[in-house]
Structures are given as C-alpha cells and as structure tokens.
Chain A
Amino acid sequence: MDTSIWRALFYLVGIMAFAGLNAAYLGWCERKGAARIQRRIGPCEAGYGGLWQPLADGLKLMSKQLLVPQGVDGIIFRLAPVLAMVPAITSMVVIPFSENIQARAMELSVLLLFALASLGMLAILLGGWASGNKYAIISSARAVSQNLAYEIPMLVTVITVVMISGSMNLREIAIDQQGGFWHWNIFRLENGHFLTMWISFIIFFICSVAETNRAPFDMAEAESELVAGFMTEYGSMGFGLFMMGEYLNIVVGACLTATLFLGGWDCPFGLTPGVWWFLIKIYVLIFTFIWIRWTYPRTQIYRLLNLSWKILIPFSLANLLITAALIKVF
C-alpha cells in the first residue's frame, strides 16, 4: 500500500470535507425531511430551498460567545464538545467507501470503531458532568446506561458477521460480499444465512439508532423532560459541535451497517460496483433514521433497557448460535 505523504493529506482533507459537509447538510436534510413528513415546507428563505441554511446556522453559532457558566469544570466543559466530534471523524479512517477508496485498511478495524463509539459516549458523560446542571447529570447517567446496554447486542451481532466473513477487517468483510445482493450478509444464500441474518440486521440497526441517541431512543436529550439534556448549558459552537458529532455518528453508523450487512460498495445486481452504490446505501439508511425519528414518540429509559436486555440480547445470542451451527453444518 502506498504510504506517501500526499495520500495521507488527500484522505485527511477528503475525510474532513466529507464529515463537514455531512454534518452541516444532514441538519438541512433532517429539517426538510421532517417538514415533508409533516406536510410543511421547511427551510426555504436562505437560498434555493433553504440550501444556505446550514451555512447561516453555522455562522450564527460561530459568532456567538462560548458561555462558560459559573461553577462548571472549565477544562472538561470545553473539552467535551471536541471529544464528541473527534472520534466520529476518526472513525471515517477505516470505512471502505469502495474497493480503492479507504484511508487505512486495518485488521481489527471493527474493534477500532467500537472503541471510538465508546469515546463518543464519554463526551456526553463529561459534558453533562462538567456542566454541573441537574438535568445534564441525569442525562449523562441515562446516556451511559443506554450505551452500555446497547453495545452488547451490537457486538454480538457483529461477531456473527465476523464469523461468516472470517475477518475483522471491514474491507475484507465487504469484499466477501461482492457479486449481487444474494451475497450480501443480510440475504446471504450461502449456508442458509439469510434465515437469521435479517434479524441480526434489524437488531444491529436498532442498536445503532440507540447508540447515536436518536429518537425514539433519545433519552439523553429528551427535550420535554430534560430540557436539552447534556447540552443544556452549552451555547454557540459548543452546542454546534455536539450537534455535528451526533450527525457524524449517524453517518458512521450507516456506513458500518452498509458495510457489514449490505455489501458495502456492491451493486445489488452484481454490475459495476462503485462508491456510488455505497453512498446510495448510506443515505437510504440515514433517511430511515430521519423517518423513524419523525414517526415515533420517545420510549422510557427502563423500557429501553428492557428492550435491550430482554429482547435484543437473547435474540442476538440465539442468532450467534444458529449462525455458528450453520457454518459448522455446511
């Protein structure tokens, strides 16, 4: 693999641009999507169809003062938004956008992604804790218990995929699924994996909604209970970074789902695979995130934990066993 400095720079700039654009314009997509579902127009004043809206919002947020209230832990308070953003961007390094577009193809890249996802949770914990606000602290406590509960079924389903592909390298996993949708992990005909893998896919998807703190699992920022949760005391770009981190987490979650279950950059009919297919897949997944958010009410924290411990974990374990048996039998 080429390791010249130009390659590193190219990917650095590329990933930053991809992350930045997504973080900004997913906000716009979310608002437009919500508006369509609710039969409104959504942002329409700034530019055609409100396309400059993210820019205007960003400028507004940047021009505001970062207010550090009295009694907060100053260093951690300032560190937390950055910590929310950094792991999300770093995760992009190992995502295989296509056969040739990937910054670093690491063995164990799946593990790295999970480690980074946990760091993101730490940002919420620190942000809420440093704020010294009661609502924020309740929110952080919720976020931690929620992330803990949902990482287990997520990891177990990933282990099933890893067993099928025989690798923890995302690139290997994607290459393993090439050649039409009947090779994708979700519909995999080989060894009869399609019998259980669609359940794994649903479990994984639910978990990634929960991991990214999206509605209906947005316990951490439940605005009708906890005002704004861990972001209550944040204004200006501190808030902006948290929001961008949230959207980037969605992108990473969608990328991971597309790579693990939907064949990565593969075309459904086995023709001309390429980066476009990957992008189509992740944006369809992201749209589903938005669609779900604007359809359901929020759950309760103990219902959420019940869902994980009583339904998702048993099901994912059963899936793991069945997959192992299928691999052994055939």
Chain B
Amino acid sequence: MTVPVHLRHDETFVLNLGPQHPATHGVLRVKLTMDGEYVVKAEPVLGYIHRMHEKMAEGGTFAQFMPNTARMDYLHALAFNHGYALVVEKAAGIEVPERAEFIRVITVELNRIASHLLWWAAFLLDLGGFTPLLYAFDDREKIIDLLERVTGSRLTYCYMRFGGVYNDIDDEFITGTREFIKRLRSRLPRFYHDLVTHNIILIKRIKNIGIITPEQCRRYGATGPVARGSGISYDIRKNEPYSVYPEFDFDVPVFEECDSMARYMVRMHEMEQSLRIIEQALDKLPDGPVMGKAPKMLKPEAGYYYSAVETARGSLGHRLVCDGGKNPYKLKLRSPTFSNLSLYGEVAEGMMLADALAFMGSLDLVIPEIDR
C-alpha cells in the first residue's frame, strides 16, 4: 500500500519467518519486527543451507568442481555450469568449438525458461493461487524431459566441460525443442496472461508493491530482472556479450515501474525472448565437434580472472585466482540473489506482512545459491 503509515516503534513484536515457512522457498529466515501487520524492520538471516562450496573448489582439481556448480542455483544450473566453464576456459586459454557454444546457449536458455516458469509457479503459490503452479509445471516438465535427453539428469546438470559439452544433441531433441517452442508460445497468452497476468486480483496485489528505485539497485548491486524491473537496461548477454550471444537478435525487456509487477513482466517477456534465442540458435546450428582440445589436467597461468554470465536471477560472477597449480587457488562466486536479497530490509520496511511476502516472492530467491 502506498499510504504512508506511522509505525510505532515501541509496541512491536518479533515474528520469526522461517527457516521453515511456506513462503521462504527453502530455508531462509527473516526476523521481522512487526507493528501489528506492518513490518517495522526486516532482517534476513542466512546460512541455513551453507555448504562452503568455495572450500570444496580449492580442494579439488578444476574439473572436479564442475558438479558442484549445479548444486547452487538448482533452478538455473546450466548457467552456473556455463559461467564456471567460461572462467576456466578464459584462464586456461581453451578454445570452444562453435557448435558446442550453440548447444550451450540452447540448453542454458531452455533452462532459463524452466527457471522462470518455476519462479512464476512459486510466486503464484505465494499469492495463494495453486492451479497456475501445475500449469507451469506441465510446461516445465517438457523442458526437463528435453534436457534430460541431452544431459542425462533432470535438475542438477553437469553438462558442460572445459572446451565443449558432454554430449551432442540429436534430431529428437531438436524437433522436441521446436515443438516445445510452439507449445509455450500458444500457451503463454492463455494460461499465463489471461488466467493470471490480467487477473484483477493479481494486479491489485502486486502493482505498486515493493518499489525498488534504480539508485537502490545500484547501491545494493541488484542485477537481473530486479534491475530491469527498475528501468535499468542491464543484461550481461547484451552489455558484455559472452559465448555466441552476439549472433542472436533478441531484446532486453525493461520496465520502468520499479514495482513487483514490473519484475513479473520482465520475467514473462524474458521467456519469450529466450524462445526467440533458441529458435535462432536451432536455425543457425553449425556442424562440427562439440568438444575442443583441452588438456586433461589444467594448469592455468597465475593471475586474476573474472567472468560474468546472466542467470535467470541476475549477474553471476566467478572470481578466479590462480597460482599456476592444478587446482583453483581461490574461487569466489558472486551469486545474484545474495545482492538482490540484501536490499530486502530497506524496501520491506513499512509494508504489510502479506505485501512483504509478495515482494520477497518477486525477488525470485533460490536459497542454496545465496548460501552457497
């Protein structure tokens, strides 16, 4: 609600939201100081699923960390695969064949759609709508089946290798993907927009809720759909092109309203853009090997390397420090939701409980990625 409320700071109580709570999607805990139903202070408490992946990276070889990357953002695992592969390839100077890069882009974008579908489903669940969840899962299931076909797993993929990908795609995958594109395109207007986006209850529920100003985005380092919903046209695929993204024609959806609805719309439009990318990639898919020449044991030159990719939630950075050894000397993962969530306390202040939770849903949190 935009009406300013006078919060009484003397008559408050503390509401422990989580770590086990239906709205926190996992094990996030938010310590809410409440005045009645109004949030006076919100303080996220992290670390309930912290696994110290960065130490694991230092303990093994470069290749041995690859399976771990999928265990952070389990919804957009292939982007984490991709980001890690890119930074190591950058450090070790490995060439990737073009076909492999195309396959990477296709699978990452499919995974991005799956991630957005799941976000949409979970967001609607936060808002109390259960049926859309299953419609989205119906579509997501198709993507997962396709990805299972090429990667061998359904959720925590370990598909990319330094210098290429694990497995080539086949005709069945290509026809399946084309069918899926057609299917989602026909379903988006009805099951997503008519049923939910244009629904007056939803509009009233998330419009003008959770305003994040562009300046707040910059000060807190928010990226991805959160920044794009605040009118900042920043997408690493465009601003800092990596892989073969420059070859495709796609738009970066930007909405100026800064509210939860804007973030919602950004993600809905991103799905359509991802479909466009996949379609073009399938059309242009070159022939050739899917695995380049890469030494079995990598020993990158000592130095500092940074590489960023755009995941479904924002900019994922890998800061790699090498000392010339065969394992990463230091690998820091800059996960997007860690920064996105850090502005929660400032923005949620003065909201009503239900709005604060709707706002939290609109940030698209994946807790294992925050806690790493």
Binding site for B on A (CB under 8 A): 34, 37-40, 134-135, 138, 141-142, 215-216, 218, 222-225, 227, 294-303
Contacts and interface: CB of A to CB of B under 8 A. Distances in A.
Contact of A303 (B13, B15, B138, B204): B204
Contact of B130 (A39, A227, A294, A303): A294
A300 B355 contact: yes
Interface stretch (B55-63, B105-113, B119-127, B239-247): B119-127
A300 B260 CA distance: 14
B37 interface: yes
20 contacts: A34-B130, A38-B130, A38-B134, A38-B135, A40-B134, A134-B13, A215-B128, A218-B128, A223-B22, A223-B128, A224-B128, A225-B23, A225-B353, A225-B357, A227-B21, A296-B201, A297-B124, A297-B128, A302-B1, A302-B352
Interface string B130-164: 11101100100000000000000000000000000
Interface of B: 1, 13, 15, 21-23, 36-37, 124-132, 134-135, 138, 195-196, 199, 201-202, 204-205, 352-355, 357
B15 A300 contact: no
A134 B21 CA distance: 14
Given A138-B353, A215-B128, A225-B23, A297 B201 contact: yes
Contacts of A141: 36-37
Given A138-B37, A224-B23, 17 more contacts: A38-B131, A39-B134, A39-B138, A40-B134, A216-B201, A224-B126, A224-B127, A225-B354, A225-B357, A295-B129, A295-B195, A297-B132, A299-B204, A300-B205, A301-B354, A302-B1, A302-B352
Contacts of A142: 37
A183 to B, nearest CB: 34
A288 B134 CA distance: 20
Contacts of A300: 204-205, 352, 354-355
A215 B138 CA distance: 23
A142 B352 CA distance: 12
Contacts of B201: 216, 296-299, 303
Contacts of B132: 297
Contacts of A215: 128
A4 B130 CA distance: 50
A135 B355 CA distance: 15
A297 B125 CA distance: 8
A166 B242 CA distance: 77
B80 to A, nearest CB: 27
Given A227-B22, A296-B201, A303-B204, A222 B354 contact: yes
Contacts of A38: 130-131, 134-135
A296 B127 CA distance: 9
B191 to A, nearest CB: 11
B368 to A, nearest CB: 20
A167 B34 CA distance: 48
Contacts of B128: 215-216, 218, 222-224, 297-298
Tell which of B134, B195, B354, B355 has the most Cβ of chain A within 10 Å: B354
Contacts of A138: 37, 353
B198 to A, nearest CB: 12
A138 B354 CA distance: 11
B127 A298 contact: yes
Nearest to B23: A224
Nearest to B195: A295
A105 B125 CA distance: 44
Nearest to B123: A297
B202 A297 contact: yes
B131 A37 contact: yes
Contacts of B196: 297
B129 A297 contact: yes
B249 to A, nearest CB: 35
Nearest to A299: B201
A2 B130 CA distance: 50
A92 to B, nearest CB: 30
A280 B135 CA distance: 30
Contacts of A297: 124, 127-129, 132, 196, 199, 201-202, 205
A223 B353 CA distance: 13
A34 B131 CA distance: 8
Nearest to B25: A224
A141 B196 CA distance: 29
A301 B205 contact: no
B354 A134 contact: no
Contact of A299 (B22, B36, B134, B205): B205
Nearest to B129: A297
A142 B353 CA distance: 12
A215 B353 CA distance: 18
Nearest to A301: B354
A298 B125 CA distance: 9
Nearest to A35: B134
B38 to A, nearest CB: 11
Contacts of B129: 295-298
Nearest to B137: A38
Contacts of A224: 22-23, 125-128, 357
A97 to B, nearest CB: 33
Contacts of A227: 21-22
A211 to B, nearest CB: 18
A164 B279 CA distance: 64
Contacts of B357: 224-225
